[in-house]
Amino acid sequence: MSKVIPTIFYKELEQELSVITQYWELNAVDSENGGFVGQRDHYNNLVVNANKGIILNSRILWSFSAIANYSENFNLVPMLERSYTYLKDNFRDKRYGGVYWELDFKGQPVNKKKQVYAQAFTIYSLSEYYLYSKNEEAKKWAISLFELIEKYALDKQKGGYIEAFQEDWSPINDMRLSNKDKNASKTMNTHLHVLEAYTTLYKIYPEVRLKAALENLVELFLEKFLNSDYNFELFFDDDWNLQSDIISFGHDIEALWLIIEAAKVTGNQELLKQTEAVAIPIADSFLAKAYIKGKGVLNEEDRLSGEVDTDRHWWPQAEAMVGLFYAYKLSKNNKYANALLDIWEFTTEHIIDHKNGEWFFRVDENYIPYKNENKLGMWKCPYHNSRACIVLLKSQL
């Protein structure tokens, strides 16, 4: 164990992982309509009859599977079975394959588009679930989703993956993941989560074609997405023409460690060296632009206007801790460990909601929470914060 990172830090993470788990066990289950509720507001009040999104539901399965794989101290089988069964029975498109984007509160599809981001998260969750359950049906489903992405989304001429499709996998005009995103055909965000999904799938399905796809994804991050300032570009068209000047600090630091893990699982030592070589410059760029000592991690910057979004969202704080830990492991430079610990202190003081549970979606530059944001919702889930706890706790084992 590192002398720089004290034992109390890991004890606090262990406690927080337990609190996160309990929150979702107590507040997420939809005992009336099946599966999980679609939304709880800032005050943790249930939003009645809210729609249910695939991102929340797939991330619940991933989170509880990962927690179960980390520790036997949690009895999570009922949550795992509820989550897996609901995904299979309600989100799975039995006609065209893949998963729907959104259901109504009763579990009927209301948005059947095939967002590749969603297919990737389902692969990620099913693969992690298989590691715990050894459920062969889940493994086969994950493999079938990989095959669908490679068949329909892979741009075989120009490289990369197309963002979204209609229900039947035909082209779609509006490819946006959310209203805040650009309508771009190739995005860093989707490629990042295809990469993490394929990384976990490869652990249970070490097939040649999957390895090649994973290596190709790592190379795309090094050659297409990473710029000379060691930020990752976000939005491109079919021909890889840049479509945005936005830097997402959370995605930068998250990608740092995910591309290392992807290269590592392939066994490609040259690729691993390349990802590790860029890790420190990425971390240094992040510390210079996104991190303020004692004040957490900023959200994003528009390079064209110079405008900085100073809100502190919950998930970049979590990803920053992991990414900076990887930088510390590689460099043994204490500045990364010190920043990690400082971000954790900021998170415990300003991001974790000690009154109503879970983490605030975001706080402003004065650390005042946005009361119009969800505590649980389409995008608010236990994935980033539970994963950060797990990855960092496993590092001390």
Smallest CA-to-CA distance from 306 within 247, 234, 254 is with 247
Judging by DSSP bridges, how do beta strands 300-302 and 362-363 pair with one another? unpaired
Name the class of domain 7-394: mainly alpha
Nearest-CA neighbor of 389 among 8, 2, 1, 18? 18
The domain spans of the chain are 7-394
Burial of 120 (0-12, 13-18, 19+ CB in 10 A): buried
In one letter, which amino acid is 105?
F
pLDDT 10s per residue in the chain (397 long)? 446 899 999 999 999 999 999 999 999 999 999 999 999 999 999 999 999 999 999 999 999 999 999 998 888 999 999 999 999 999 999 999 999 999 999 999 999 999 999 999 999 999 999 999 999 999 999 999 999 999 999 999 999 999 999 999 999 999 998 877 889 999 999 999 999 999 999 999 999 999 999 999 999 999 999 999 999 999 999 999 999 999 999 999 999 999 999 999 999 999 999 999 999 999 999 999 999 999 999 999 999 999 999 999 999 999 999 999 999 999 999 999 999 999 999 999 999 999 999 999 999 999 999 999 999 999 999 999 999 999 999 998 6
Sign of CA dihedral 47, 52, 56, 58: positive
Dist CA 150 CA 208 (whole Å): 13
pLDDT given at position 74: 87
- In this predicted structure, what is the pLDDT of residue 1? 41
**What confidence score (pLDDT) does residue 195 get?**
98
